[in-house]
Amino acid sequence: MAKLAHDPAGTLERLFHEPNRLAILSALCTARDGLPFTDLRDACRLTDGNLNRHLKALEEEGIVRVQKAFVDDKPRTTILLTRGGLTRFNQYLENLAVVLQDARRAARREDAVLHAPLRSPVRA
């Protein structure tokens, strides 16, 4: 197996490189004022427990803030993306774009080699 010139996986922040967390952060990027827990849960197609587990990991890292309040005498939990969280997520997305571009270039080179016409033997 060929050795890589760089470590693409090493440039991706593992905290974000998980499908459910990627979905959570992508949804939160579209909501300046945050999203109610239930809306975020439904948008990401997660269970309450699964969303809670991911939010806890993100909150411990300062990526999101969980805000609890009462609205019309009903409890409402709103999830907000922090400024630092947005900065880190943007950096992750930039690194991911570079990794994907490198992979696309490598795949095209490999495709060109695999589909190159065979040379016919040279006859003297």
In a domain, 44, yes or no: yes
- Whole-number pLDDT of residue 106: 85
Q: Which residue has the tokens 């849960």?
A: 41
- pLDDT higher than 90, residue 118: no
d(CA 22, CA 32): 17
Q: Is residue 92 part of a domain?
A: yes
Q: What is the mean pLDDT of residues 24-43?
A: 96
pLDDT of residue 86: 97
pLDDT of 35 reads 98
Cβ atoms of residues 20 and 67 within 8 Å? no
Asked if residue 124 is part of any domain, the answer here is no
- The reply to whether 4 falls in a domain is no
What's the CATH number where 15 sits? Answer: 1.10.10.10
Angle between helix 48-60 and helix 19-29 axes, rounded to 10 deg: 80
What is residue 71's predicted lDDT score, i.e. its pLDDT? 87
Whole domain around residue 16: which residue ranges? 11-110
* The pLDDT of residue 97: 92
Strands 64-71 and 35-36: unpaired
Q: In the predicted model, is pLDDT for residue 34 greater than 90? A: yes
Q: Which two tokens stand for residue 80?
A: 């907000």
Strands ordered across the beta sheet of 64-71: 35-36, 74-81, 64-71
Kindly state whether residue 74 falls inside one of the protein's structural domains: yes
Task: Specify if 88 maps to a domain.
Answer: yes
Whether the pTM exceeds 0.95: the reply is: no
In a domain, residue 52? The reply is yes
Write the pLDDT tens digit of every residue in 46-105: 999 999 999 999 999 999 999 999 989 999 999 999 999 999 999 999 999 999 998 888
pLDDT at site 103: 87
Residue 6 lies in a domain: no
- Domains identified in the chain, total number: 1
- Predicted pLDDT of residue 117: 67
